[in-house]
Amino acid sequence: EAGVAQSPRYKIIEKRQSVAFWCNPISGHATLYWYQQILGQGPKLLIQFQNNGVVDDSQLPKDRFSAERLKGVDSTLKIQPAKLEDSAVYLCASSSLSYEQYFGPGTRLTVT
Amino acid sequence: QKEVEQNSGPLSVPEGAIASLNCTYSDRVSQSFFWYRQYSGKSPELIMSIYSNGDKEDGRFTAQLNKASQYVSLLIRDSQPSDSATYLCAVNIGSFGSGTKLNVKP
């Protein structure tokens, strides 16, 4: 069974630029999550999708971050414009009904 | 008060010993609890889930849950150097602790 796929793996951008991350969950997993993990901290949930509907986006900075999950499968997370404090690893995870989450390899974002 | 609290460590144990990792949480009505392992530079990997009070064993790992005390722990028996990693406690769907770094010395 293929795991969670993410791309790109690394991205370096200048502040005020925009960036987008892509995630393909495990086949059949209805729930998809985007997390931000800053070095030395635990993952912080940004947004949770159930199929193509948003369940929780309470910690998503909506003035600059957006996410969508078209057709209930792939998802994209966008940052526009990026700030220095957005430098982090962005993790995508998926789960079935059990809520046991399986993480992708992550995208390491550096904002200069 | 953080929702999920863990001692950051590092916790150092000799090879073959039992490593005990602890986690407390603030939401009294929490229903699901997870332990993830994260190697340096890698993404978290699910080790165990636990939903009911008591112990749950899987190989060398035992998760313990005490909802009255709002406390969940992970025991690793016969610790190996390959167990050296950061262990993340997660409560419910998206609340993670900051993790405890475990060092197993050969």
pLDDT by position in tens, chain B (length 106): 669 999 988 999 999 999 999 999 999 888 999 999 999 999 999 999 999 999 999 999 999 999 999 999 999 999 999 999 999 999 998 899 999 999 999 9
pLDDT of residue B22: 96
> Which residue, chain included where needed, has tokens 């600059």?
A64
Chain B residues whose CB is inside 8 A of the A103 CB are: 43-45
Could you give the C-alpha distances from A51 to A23, A56, A70, A81, B2, in angstroms and in order?
14, 13, 9, 27, 30
A112 three-state secondary structure:
coil
**What average pLDDT score do residues A85-90 get?**
98
Chain A residues with CB under 8 Å of B49 CB are: 98, 100
Closest residue, chain A, to B8 (C-alpha): A40
Which residue among A45, A98, A100 sits closest to B94, beta carbon to beta carbon? A45
Q: Which residues in chain A are closer than 8 Å to B96, comparing Cβ atoms?
A: 42-45
pLDDT at A2: 83
The pair of structure tokens assigned to A66 is 């957006």
Q: pLDDT, tens digit, for every residue of A52-79?
A: 899 999 999 999 999 999 888 999 999 9
pLDDT value for A97: 81
Task: Find the closest chain A residue to B47 by CA distance.
Answer: A100
B92 alpha carbon, distance to own chain's centre: 14
A-chain residues within 8 Å CB-CB of B34?
100-101
pLDDT of residue A70: 82
CB contact under 8 A, B46 and A101: yes
* Residue in B93, B95, B98 to test binding to A, most A beta-carbons within 10 Å: B93
Residue B89 near residue B34, CB atoms below 8 Å: yes
- In this prediction, residue A1 has a pLDDT band, given cuts at 50, 70 and 90, of low
Q: Is the dihedral of CA B50, B37, A23, A15 positive or negative?
A: positive
